[in-house]
Amino acid sequence: MWEIIKTIYKEVHFSIIKENSSVMNDPKKLKNSLKYSANIIWGVFLQSVMYLGLGVMVAVSILYSENEVQKAIFFSSYLIIPFILTLYSTSLATAYLLSSKAVEPLKPLPLGNLNFIVSLTLLIENLPAFVFLIPASLALGNSIASLLGLLWICSTILMGHSLALFLQIKFSGIHVGKGSVVKTLVKVAGFLIIAGIYFIVQALMRILEDNIEVIAPIFRKYFIAFPFAASTIYEPYKSLVLLALYTLPFLALYFYDLKRLGEVLEGIKTYGKVATKYKLTVANPVTAMFRKDYRIIFRKNPYLGTFLSPLLMSIYFIYNLAKEGFPVMMTLFSIMGISVLGLVMLDPAFAMDREVFPFLSSLPIKRREYLLGKMLTVSLSPLTFSAILVLLSCAFNGTEALLLIPFLASPFLTSSIGILYVKHKMGNERIELPVLKFYDGIVMLILSMIPFIIVAIPLFLLSVPKGYLVSGAIILVGALILSKLI
């Protein structure tokens, strides 16, 4: 059985690796990915170590709590994190399991427990989520409470796993129309939760510590609801009853999932409706390239991760920004930082065309149109996150934050600098896929920071709002001139 599980795990993770063109085109990266990501022992171990580190941080906050009531509330509140992690990772792994067809060779074999083997493989994916709260359960300071804590963690993993399998049984497949939009939004939310887990834990710790007197009565009043029910760990009999109330129904759901899992493994279903009548329309080549890129981005997880990378790379600064109430000056510098970090999308924006480049180069598209399309592709992600920051700053600071609106051109400024650098590397008038090295990234980073250094001078020399207006005008004019040069 173990060999079958290892094989399924390897096939599932190899299908994930195959979606990442930068890995597939680099033999060294591919070898390392197969060694660590596609190996069940290494893959689960490395993730478990990472989550164990976060778990130790949580355990320290519980260990130094004033009393058992606080410890119980802290522990039960953190249960929501492994629940979400399990729900997401099981759903994601199941989707790749279906697309990779890893179980197809096993169907003709006389394996009566194939569904259980598949479920166990998916469950192993969730081991890091279990490891996350082990230190917290040991920090409860009471052997019975610690044992109950471990049981509550197991129950939470079971809830997330069985619910994810149930949703896959009912709704898995290819979603078109409105269903595809919902699926994409869920995927984006999952990426943000996984990537921002450290800051979610930090924020949760701060909320609990600052509002424990307000939260405690809520936990006592609604103790029967999850995750409040786990706050009864210092009341063994009561906790066991509530544990059974949650575990038994989800255990029954899990056995139901095992029986119906075979239906999912039979093949991928299609849900939703699309128009059956089409008409050819002549689109602007620039917007056509832009739309093509984002269709690819939201269909392939590695590119979706790249799309979110400007936000993920600056999430620490945004976290501190939120603690301060999104002050205008700090928000402005965050917008500049996100715009500069948006250049990480430049290489993947061209790499996604590698497989279809022979066809792409045969189209009647001018190089300038192609590069402008890529400029929009690179700009959209930092522009979206910058606009969200401006809205949040307006909510906290009122009309003063409207001074930030001109700075929303910052992503276009930095992406234009990056595209002009690529244009210079191309040399001739033909469309080519650039090969960008590490030093190219450093050069583009330095070049993109120069205009922001210039922009900062009026901000510090002139009073408000004159400094913001002058700096904003420089950004707008600079972005317009550089886009014309592409």
Give, in order, the Cα–Cα distances in Å from 353 to each of 148, 189, 241, 432, 435.
53, 26, 57, 10, 13
The pTM for the full model equals 0.60
**C-beta contacts of 431-439 below 8 A and 24+ residues apart:** 431/360, 431/361, 431/365, 431/367, 431/370, 433/350, 433/351, 433/353, 433/354, 433/357, 434/350, 436/346, 436/347, 436/350
Lowest mean pLDDT among 144-153, 167-176, 283-292, 462-471: 167-176
Helix axis angle for 68-78 and 197-210, nearest 10°, is: 150
pLDDT tens-digit map of 144-185: 888 998 999 999 998 888 888 787 776 655 444 444 444 555
Q: Are the CB atoms for 134 and 75 separated by under 8 Å?
A: no
Q: Residue 270 forms beta bridges with which residues?
A: 174
pLDDT number for residue 20? 59
- Judge if the upstream peptide bond of residue 227 is cis by omega within 30 degrees of 0: yes
pLDDT number for residue 175? 44
d(CA 93, CA 99) in angstroms, rounded, equals 10
* Average of per-residue pLDDT values in the chain: 77
d(CA 343, CA 313) in angstroms, rounded, equals 12
- The residue that leads in pLDDT, 23 or 382, is 382
d(CA 126, CA 132) in angstroms, rounded, equals 10
Give, in order, the Cα–Cα distances in Å from 334 to each of 318, 354, 382, 480.
7, 33, 11, 22
Three-state DSSP at 270 gives strand
Q: Mention every residue, 6+ apart, whose C-beta is less than 8 A from residue 218.
A: 228
- The residue that leads in pLDDT, 194 or 428, is 428
pLDDT tens-digit map of 64-120: 777 888 888 888 888 888 888 888 777 777 766 766 666 666 666 666 677 777 777
Token pair recorded at residue 454: 């210039």
What are the backbone dihedrals phi and psi of residue 141, each rounded to the nearest 5 degrees, phi first? 80, 15
State the residue for tokens 């195959």: 18
Average pLDDT over residues 124-142: 85
Residue 252 has pLDDT above 70, yes or no: yes
- Rounded to 5 degrees, what angle do the CA atoms 338, 352, 30 make? 95
pLDDT number for residue 177? 46
pLDDT number for residue 412? 92
Sign of CA dihedral 15, 21, 25, 28: negative
pLDDT number for residue 306? 65
- Judge if the upstream peptide bond of residue 128 is cis by omega within 30 degrees of 0: no
Give the closest residue to 172 by CA, choosing from 76, 72, 95. Answer: 95
- Rounded to 5 degrees, what angle do the CA atoms 347, 348, 353 make? 105
pLDDT tens-digit map of 339-389: 888 887 787 788 777 777 778 777 888 888 888 988 998 888 888 888 888
Neighbours of 59 (CB within 10 A): 22
Sign of CA dihedral 201, 208, 188, 10: positive
pLDDT number for residue 186? 56
Give the closest residue to 305 by CA, choosing from 392, 203, 196. Answer: 196
- pLDDT class of 413 with cuts at 50, 70, 90: very high
463: which DSSP letter? P
For residue 39, what is the enclosing H or E element? none
- The residue that leads in pLDDT, 414 or 307, is 414
Give the closest residue to 458 by CA, choosing from 469, 447, 449, 450. Answer: 469
Neighbours of 176 (CB within 10 A): 14
Q: Are the CB atoms for 125 and 45 separated by under 8 Å?
A: no
Q: Where are the domains of the chain?
A: 2-271, 285-485
d(CA 276, CA 396) in angstroms, rounded, equals 47
pLDDT number for residue 260? 75
Q: Mention every residue, 6+ apart, whose C-beta is less than 8 A from residue 379.
A: 342, 411, 412, 415
DSSP per position, 366-431: -HHHHHHHHHHHHHHHHHHHHHHHHHHHHHHHGGGGGGGGGGGGHHHHHHHHHHHHHHHHH-SSS-
Residue 431 has pLDDT above 50, yes or no: yes
